Amino acid sequence: MTRLRNISHLIKNRLGDLWWYTLILFVAHRIGDVVNAGIGLFLVPMYVPQSELGAVLPLMSVGALLGLPLIALTTPLMKFLNKYMALGEFGKVKQLLRDAFIFTGIIFAVMLLGSRLLLPLVFDRMRVEDGSLSLLIVTSGILGALVPIFLTALQALKKFTVLSLTTAFSAFVRLGAMLICLPIRGLSGYFVGQIVPSLCVIGIALVALRKHFGRKIKMTPYWNDDWKSILRYAKWPALLNLTAMLQITIEAFVIRRCLPDVESAGFYMISRFAEITLYFGFACATILFPLVSERHEKGQHGQQKLLVQSVLLTLLMGLCFTVLIVPGAHLLFKLKTDWNIYTSFTPHLIVLSLAYAIRGAVHCFVVYQTARNQFRFVPFFMFIHCSEIVVLYCLTGYTFFTPWMPQTWMDALTAFNPCRLSIVLGILLLYTLPPLFYSLISMRKTLKNSTVP
């Protein structure tokens, strides 16, 4: 055991904190991926009919969108939580976490009322029945937005091992919840299975943090001193999150509403594999944010290499996993008779995996800049998000423009048939490239400036 510990310390010293903990978190995510893949590929299709399977991802996006007001506050809270942790101001952290719970309760009540008007329209377009879905979707979205605050507290205290174990354990909790709830009612059971792990993560985080925020730690006001900085910091991330969530939601909506049921179900199936290429970037960004934020608050430099390593390695890992995932998924689809229909979607998996790998790399860039209070990139990224939304909706809903378009154009579009998964995924991949190029150019300029004496 001692020898093993010495070897691990040696590897850790060689890799550094970023890559050591990224590796641990990545392994934890992969354990979770295996469990979640079993849920997504076996359990969910078993209890959710194909006609409703394509509605799973759009409804998840709606839940995330409903949690946007909380997410708008989550980003500055995460930043200032890191700041207070780095400065040892645990009284402010304790009050910040308390305020997060209070704000969550208020947002939950407001969103629950708003969902009464919004969600029936969504269910009609998604071709699913309401039942208890409204309450479950709102709860899932709100908890999904709250969880990152508590994960950030673990990150700021450098409790990366606890964070990794929580990530793996929550996947098994999700499996247990799905096994119980999915057979009772498909879609509703799915969202219960999303809610229970979130509650589990928050509970574990509170237990892990209790030593630092026990009764001996008195809450210290922070709002009077930092409210201007918090609101200033909240503005740009909130706008970016808004357009990014709208982008993801519209992608899912277009695939569900404008494409046949079999194609929307096919997208759900291949996305279970493609998301693996996205997770490495998210695992890396999880470690990157507190490290960069703490160094920035302390006035330390030399963070550029962490960004370059994160982005390039995420791209490389994404490409490698794409090469491995695609043939593996094709073979898996052939093993089960019910899945044979999805073998024709294997070429789409290549496009989607590459797109997600690029998004993972760009996410590292966004997290790095956010940790350093740099938001010059936000207007450009917002423009790209909005452009994709407009192109997707106009192209797949071209019949809306029939009264104003020449008949020859309409005939050409009808013959072209843009309401195909290949077209939608092609547009998705195309719009990942400008943010990637922007990130690479910005990194090159940053490195060049850092080498100038």
Residue carrying the six token digits 């996006």 = 61
What is the C-alpha separation between 26 and 2, in angstroms, rounded? 24
CA atoms within 13 A on the CB side of 193: 27
User: What pLDDT digit, counting tens, does each position of 336-394 carry?
Assistant: 777 788 888 888 989 999 999 999 999 889 988 887 778 889 999 999 999 999 999 88
User: What pLDDT digit, counting tens, does each position of 146-160 carry?
Assistant: 787 777 777 666 677
Q: What is the dihedral of CA 364, 365, 366, 370, to 10 degrees?
A: 100
CB 170 within 8 A of CB 197: yes
Name the 3-class secondary structure at 191. Answer: helix
What is the C-alpha separation between 243 and 252, in angstroms, rounded? 14
CB 302 within 8 A of CB 381: no
The DSSP secondary-structure symbol of 219 reads: P
CA atoms within 13 A on the CB side of 322: 19
**pLDDT computed for residue 426 by the predictor:** 92
Let me know how long the chain is.
453
**pLDDT computed for residue 378 by the predictor:** 92
What is the C-alpha separation between 224 and 217, in angstroms, rounded? 20
What is the C-alpha separation between 28 and 282, in angstroms, rounded? 12
CB 316 within 8 A of CB 281: no
**pLDDT computed for residue 165 by the predictor:** 80
**pLDDT computed for residue 453 by the predictor:** 42
The total of other beta-carbon atoms located within 10 Å of residue 433's CB is 13
Name which of 199, 167, 192 is nearest 177 in CA terms. 192
Low-confidence ranges of the chain (pLDDT < 50): 451-453
**pLDDT computed for residue 427 by the predictor:** 93
**pLDDT computed for residue 452 by the predictor:** 40
Phi-psi region of 247 (alpha: psi -120 to 50; beta: other; left: phi over 0): alpha
What is the C-alpha separation between 320 and 339, in angstroms, rounded? 25
What is the C-alpha separation between 280 and 30, in angstroms, rounded? 9
**pLDDT computed for residue 162 by the predictor:** 78
